[in-house]
């Protein structure tokens, strides 16, 4: 199992001069860490832009800079190198690209001075392979906020965790921190640390009213700018239009099926 990666994720110096931010470096590092955690090999694609423009190239669009026969020939060679690799190793899980790049853009790219929808000129040569922006691939640490006081609740939490782990998400499950009847401060501190470090919170909000601890965790995540995806399979409604407490619905993206979570979390197995 392997992913194809844009080469500047491993070697940021390959990027155009002056465009790399601290947030980019963190995303690059987190993406490589996700592969390490789940035993996914990383195979770096050729850097056609650096080969053509040199290591100290300035940022710019495709048109007027890369739309030449010489660059097209480099792209041809790079594509053949990647397709040879695929023939030898089989299909990759996905391509991890760097969005907005005129070469390795995933959802948008600089064709002119404005961003255009679609893949960059190199990634567009592999339409059959799913592609994921490095920032999405880097978000893999999930905090599962959920009631955990009955056997049924704990069993369902484990089912949700199993679904997420199949899609290479690293899940913190509070029920694994011990019995809340002992060492409450230690448990609180451990869960708060995991919550603060999470890339996204998945919250189970079934019941006539959401569990109070889950509601607190959702509010904390929202205040910290951590995205929240809420799962409510309960068909009861709290009001005319609300499925649950209005304040909880407003801080989360709500789904009614656990199987929808991987797509909402942008799983590399089913990336768009």
pLDDT at 66: 95
Instruction: For residue range 111-123, list pLDDT tens digits in order.
Output: 998 899 999 999 9
Instruction: For residue range 79-130, list pLDDT tens digits in order.
Output: 999 999 999 999 999 999 999 999 999 999 999 988 999 999 999 999 999 9
Domain limit, last residue, from 89, 121, 137: 137
User: 59 and 47: one domain?
Assistant: yes
Check pLDDT > 80 for residue 264.
yes
Pick the more confident residue, 244 or 228: 228
Which of 18, 34, 174, 157 has its CA nearest to residue 94?
34
User: 147 and 34: one domain?
Assistant: no
Q: What is the pTM of this model?
A: 0.89
Check pLDDT > 70 for residue 180.
no
Residue 162 lies in a domain: yes
Task: For residue 220, give both structure tokens.
Answer: 């904390």
pLDDT at 181: 58
Residue 270 lies in a domain: no
Domain limit, last residue, from 103, 137, 171: 137
pLDDT at 184: 80
Domain limit, last residue, from 137, 154, 182: 137
Strand order in the sheet with 228-231: 170-172, 141-145, 200-204, 228-231, 253-255
User: 191 and 70: one domain?
Assistant: no
pLDDT bucket at 258, cuts 50 / 70 / 90: very high
Provide mean pLDDT across the span 193-198.
95
Provide mean pLDDT across the span 186-197.
91
Instruction: Tell which phi-psi region holds residue 234, choosing left (phi > 0), alpha (psi between -120 and 50) or beta.
Output: beta
Strands 95-97 and 115-117: unpaired
User: 130 and 151: one domain?
Assistant: no
Task: For residue 124, give both structure tokens.
Answer: 């567009």
What CA–CA distance (Å, rounded) separates 128 from 102? 19
CATH of the domain at 232: 3.40.50.450
pLDDT bucket at 185, cuts 50 / 70 / 90: confident
pLDDT at 155: 92
Sheet strands (E) in the chain: 2-5, 41-44, 95-97, 108-110, 115-117, 131-133, 141-145, 170-172, 200-204, 228-231, 253-255
User: 215 and 132: one domain?
Assistant: no
Residue 58 lies in a domain: yes
Check pLDDT > 90 for residue 73.
yes
Residue 269 lies in a domain: no
User: 36 and 119: one domain?
Assistant: yes
User: 196 and 80: one domain?
Assistant: no
User: 44 and 128: one domain?
Assistant: yes
pLDDT at 238: 63
Supply the range of the domain harboring residue 84. Answer: 2-137
User: 104 and 189: one domain?
Assistant: no
């Amino acid at each position: 199992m392997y992913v194809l990666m844009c080469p500047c994720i491993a070697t940021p110096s390959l990027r155009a001069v002056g465009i790399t931010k601290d947030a980019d470096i963190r995303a690059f590092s987190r993406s490589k860490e996700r592969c390490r955690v789940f035993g996914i090999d990383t195979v770096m694609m050729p850097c056609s832009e650096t080969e053509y423009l040199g290591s100290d190239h300035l940022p710019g669009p495709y048109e007027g800079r890369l739309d030449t026969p010489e660059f097209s020939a480099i792209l041809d060679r790079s594509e053949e190198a990647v397709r040879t690799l695929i023939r030898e190793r089989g299909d990759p899980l996905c391509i991890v690209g760097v969005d907005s790049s005129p070469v390795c853009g995933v959802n948008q790219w600089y064709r002119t001075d404005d961003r255009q929808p679609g893949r960059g000129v190199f990634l567009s040569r592999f339409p059959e392979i799913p592609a994921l922006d490095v920032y999405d691939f880097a978000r893999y640490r999930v905090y599962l906020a959920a009631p955990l006081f009955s056997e049924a609740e704990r069993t369902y939490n484990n089912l949700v965790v199993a679904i997420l782990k199949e899609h290479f998400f690293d899940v913190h499950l509070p029920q694994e921190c011990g019995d809340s009847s002992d060492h409450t401060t230690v448990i609180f501190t451990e869960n708060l640390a995991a919550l603060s470090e999470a890339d996204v919170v998945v919250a189970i909000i079934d019941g006539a009213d959401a569990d109070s601890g889950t509601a607190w965790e959702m509010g904390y995540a929202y205040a910290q700018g951590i995205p929240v995806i809420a799962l409510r399979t309960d068909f009861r409604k709290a009001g005319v239009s609300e499925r649950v407490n209005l304040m909880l619905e407003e801080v989360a993206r709500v789904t009614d099926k656990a199987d929808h979570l991987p797509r909402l979390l942008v799983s590399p197995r089913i990336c768009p």
